[in-house]
Structure 1
Amino acid sequence: MPNITSLISQRIKPSCAVWEITLKCNSNCIHCGSKAGKTRPDELNTEESLNLVREIHDCGYKGVALMGGEPLIRDDWYDIAREIKKNKLELSIVTNGLTLNENIQELKSLKVDCVSLSLDGGSAKVHDYLRGMPG
Structure 2
Amino acid sequence: MGPKTNTLTDTFGRAHSYLRISLTERCNLRCTYCMPAAGVPLSPKAHLMTADEVYAIAKTFVDHGVTKIRLTGGEPLVRKDFREILQKLASLPVRMGITTNGITVDRFIADFKKNNLKDINVSLDSLDVQKFKDITRRDYFERVYNNILLLEKEGFNVKVNVVLIKDFNDSEIVDFIGLTKDLNISVRFIEFMPFDGNKWNVKKMVSYAEIMKLVNTAYTSEKLLRLQDAPNDTTKNYSIKGFKGSFGIISSVSNPFCDSCNRLRLTANGCLKNCLFSSSESNLLGLFREGKSIIPSIAKAVKAKQKIRGEMDTLEKLKESNLHSKNRSMITIGG
TM-score by length of 1: 0.83
Q: Residue 43 in 1 paired to residue 45 in 2?
A: no
Which ranges of structure 1 fall in alignment gaps of 5 or more residues?
1-7
Structure 1 residue 11, shift from structure 2 partner: 2.8
Structure 1 residue 99, shift from structure 2 partner: 0.7
Aligned to 2:138: 133
Aligned to 1:63: 68
Q: Equivalents in 2 of 1:93, 1:51: separation in Å? A: 19
CA spacing shift, 1:33–1:18, aligned 2, 3 Å: farther
Structure 1 residue 10, shift from structure 2 partner: 6.9
Structure 1 residue 23, shift from structure 2 partner: 0.7
Q: Equivalents in 2 of 1:19, 1:75: separation in Å? A: 16
Aligned to 2:190: none
Q: Residue 23 in 1 paired to residue 28 in 2?
A: no
**Higher relative contact order (CA closer than 8 Å, sequence separation 6+):** 1
Q: Equivalents in 2 of 1:75, 1:37: separation in Å? A: 21
Aligned to 1:4: none
Map 1:69-84 → 2, pairs under 5 A: 69-84=74-89
Structure 1 residue 93, shift from structure 2 partner: 0.1
Q: Equivalents in 2 of 1:110, 1:23: separation in Å? A: 24
Q: Deviations over 1:26-63 (max 9, x none)?
A: 11111115997785212111221121121121121011
Q: Is the 8 A contact 1:72 1:95 kept in 2?
A: yes
Q: Residue 96 in 1 paired to residue 126 in 2?
A: no
Q: Residue 21 of structure 1 aligns to which amino acid in structure 2?
A: L
> What is the DSSP-based 3-state SS (H/G/I as helix, E as strand, rest coil) of the residue aligned with 1:92?
strand
Q: Deviations over 1:61-111 (max 9, x none)?
A: 011111000001111222222222211111110000011111111112112
Q: Residue 87 in 1 paired to residue 92 in 2?
A: yes
Q: Residue 43 of structure 2 aligns to which amino acid in structure 1?
A: R
> What is the DSSP-based 3-state SS (H/G/I as helix, E as strand, rest coil) of the residue aligned with 2:112?
helix
> What is the DSSP-based 3-state SS (H/G/I as helix, E as strand, rest coil) of the residue aligned with 2:93?
coil
> What is the DSSP-based 3-state SS (H/G/I as helix, E as strand, rest coil) of the residue aligned with 2:23?
strand
Q: Is the 8 A contact 1:91 1:114 kept in 2?
A: yes
Structure with higher Rg: it is 2
TM-score by length of 2: 0.35
Q: Equivalents in 2 of 1:128, 1:95: separation in Å? A: 17
Superposition misfits of 4+ residues, deviation over 4 angstroms: 33-39
Q: Is the 8 A contact 2:112 2:118 kept in 1?
A: no
Structure 1 residue 122, shift from structure 2 partner: 2.7
Q: Is the 8 A contact 1:53 1:80 kept in 2?
A: no
Task: Give the aligned length.
Answer: 128
Of the candidates 109, 121, 124, which is equivalent to residue 126 of structure 2? 121
Q: Residue 112 of structure 1 aligns to which amino acid in structure 2?
A: L
CA spacing shift, 1:121–1:37, aligned 2, 3 Å: farther
Identity among equivalent pairs (%):
23
Aligned to 2:189: none
CA spacing shift, 1:38–1:102, aligned 2, 3 Å: farther
> What is the DSSP-based 3-state SS (H/G/I as helix, E as strand, rest coil) of the residue aligned with 1:122?
coil
Aligned to 1:12: 14
Structure 1 residue 113, shift from structure 2 partner: 2.9
Q: Is the 8 A contact 2:25 2:42 kept in 1?
A: yes
